[in-house]
Structure 1
Amino acid sequence: MTQRLIRQSKSVTNWSELEGKPVVFPSNWASVADKPTSFATTWETITGKPLTFASEWSTLANKPATFASTWDLVTGKPTSFATTWALVAGKPTTFDPTIEYGVWTPSLAGTITRGNHIYTSTERNGWYAKIGRAIQFWFGIAVVNKDTAMDGNIFIDGLPFNHSNAVNSTAAASSSGHNALIYPTGYSEFTMVGVKNTNRYDLRFAGTGQTQVICTAANVGTNPIIRGSGYYLTD
């Protein structure tokens, strides 16, 4: 039971002058109106509770009727499994899972005259990994006696597989270190670009806002060292 105080039109100085006040206040719990008539003191006297609880799996309602005890009894399972790659349905028809590793011997050469350089005994190495058509490679060369007869545009060849002959199949390689290369004026970057249907990478110079230019024999100083790596596709 609630009471609402009425806003007074005049000030009052004591409780007896307050208009709309409750006539009486309950002096104890027994005289409180609209209170609950009883409280449940045990689980048994709670109203609205579940009537029963399952005490074991066998009495649980809405449980699965049966469980498969072996793989043979599982419903909806695949009827068969492929035991070899050849039997796998829907697999790519052109996928080649073969992985191959090996070594190769890089050479520094010119398009007009290759040149017959002398390399260090410790650095003229190449490595590769072939996964299907994809080739990842690394190399390092160090020349101790450059053949001055080398002429033309300069490249590195000897890769174990040719670049793909497909359109737009050429790929660039990056240099991890080099010296004795003479940069043209206005150029500050060195790169290597694969040539389609060959096993070589042409050496080039690049720069901000500049068109790439071929590295020629005149750009190769005495005793050059070039190291690099790259990725390309073969046919």
Structure 2
Amino acid sequence: MSGEAAREPQPPREPAPMPHRPTALRLVEAMLFAAGEPLDEATLMARLPEGADVRALLAELAADYAPRGVNLVRVAGKWMLRTAPDLGFLLARDKPEPRRLSRAALETLAIIAYHQPATRAEIEEIRGVSTNKGTLDVLLAAGWVRLRGRRRSPGRPVTYGTTETFLVHFGLDTIRDLPGLDELRGTGLIDARVSAGLTVPLPNDDAALQDDEDPLESDFDLSLAPEPDSEPEREEGGDEPGG
């Protein structure tokens, strides 16, 4: 073969054919892509052909997306497409700056997550300082905390718990995915020298009211209504040492 012949442009190669994807798999993928919120298996199953194994389809999609820039993840018992964790920092610059929670709000959120259902008085007892109602209002407005019911005790204080939005935001499948004592020690959030008697409760966000809870009144304002046992509201950041 001459040099000129060797330099002649070669015809473009045909792209390799894409492997056939079953219709049911494509349907699941399309629903998850179009959804604005996580979808549960029942919702997905309702749109699939009869006899489709939704769990097997989700497992196949999750494996398919694992090495990609978008992953299929399970949060709050539901499924959603989410940016791969190792790429999140690259996209953070394009997102609006989120409102930063105060230390008081972070502590309050952590106490509610681990000790729910919890009243304001119980939160203050654990923190060791009085808690502004404004601190709870911030968490309610963010959608991470909800009003559950009323404790069967004098004053019938409101009980607080976490929400599905809390699980989705922090990428948790269930509330029990929160770190335990050993994990908290490993991250340095708890001093390794603390008392051996220290324990971290097993979180439980069961929606059913407990034996010592009553339902909220039907006309109760679920937005930012005051509690009957609340003190006069102080400015955020005015949390004071408890007496």
Q: Determine which structure has greater relative contact order: mean sequence separation of CA pairs < 8 Å that are 6+ residues apart, divided by chain length.
A: 2
Superposition TM-score, scaled by structure 2 size: 0.23
- Report the structure, 1 or 2, having the larger strand content: 1
More helix by percentage: 2
Q: TM-score, normalised by structure 1?
A: 0.23
Query: Which of the two has higher C-alpha Rg?
Result: 1
